[in-house]
Amino acid sequence: MARIIALIAGTLFGGGLAVSGMVDPARVRGFLDILGRWDPTLAFVMAGAIVPMALAWRIRAQMAAPVAAAAFVLPDSRRIDGRLAAGAVIFGIGWGVAGLCPGPALADLALAPWPAAVFVAAMFAGMALHRITTP
């Protein structure tokens, strides 16, 4: 059951990214180009996500457990350290250079498979490298 819910949620998320145009690297780069031809579309997509996410957090706070799991899995720490900051910087640089981040890249596999496949392969290689090098 949990896998079916995850598949439905992932499909809904990917569809939302495609409909909003966030799988288009040019649109993402346009959002990041604040000194050039800035495209505010991504800001509207992010703002539109705030209301449903706020509702989801309110509903989650009143639930003892998720619908398809034994317990909620939340981060143990709220600490911001060097590793977190370095990861955020690497993520931001990759997002700016490629115009993709993990969610849109996976959704883009259905729309523009070859360019997205290069990004996704590099993403998985980075994840494997992290797993190998992290104690």
Q: Where are the domains of the chain?
A: 2-133
- Kindly report the pTM of this predicted structure: 0.68
* pLDDT of 11 strictly over 80: yes
Chain mean pLDDT for the chain: 88
Q: Per-residue DSSP letters for 21-85? A: TTT-HHHHHHHH-TTSS--THHHHHHHHHHHHHHHHHHHHHT-SS-TTSSS----S-----HHHH
pLDDT reported for residue 125: 93
Angle at 78 between CA 123 and CA 133, to 5 degrees: 35
pLDDT at 89: 92
pLDDT over threshold 90, residue 83:
no
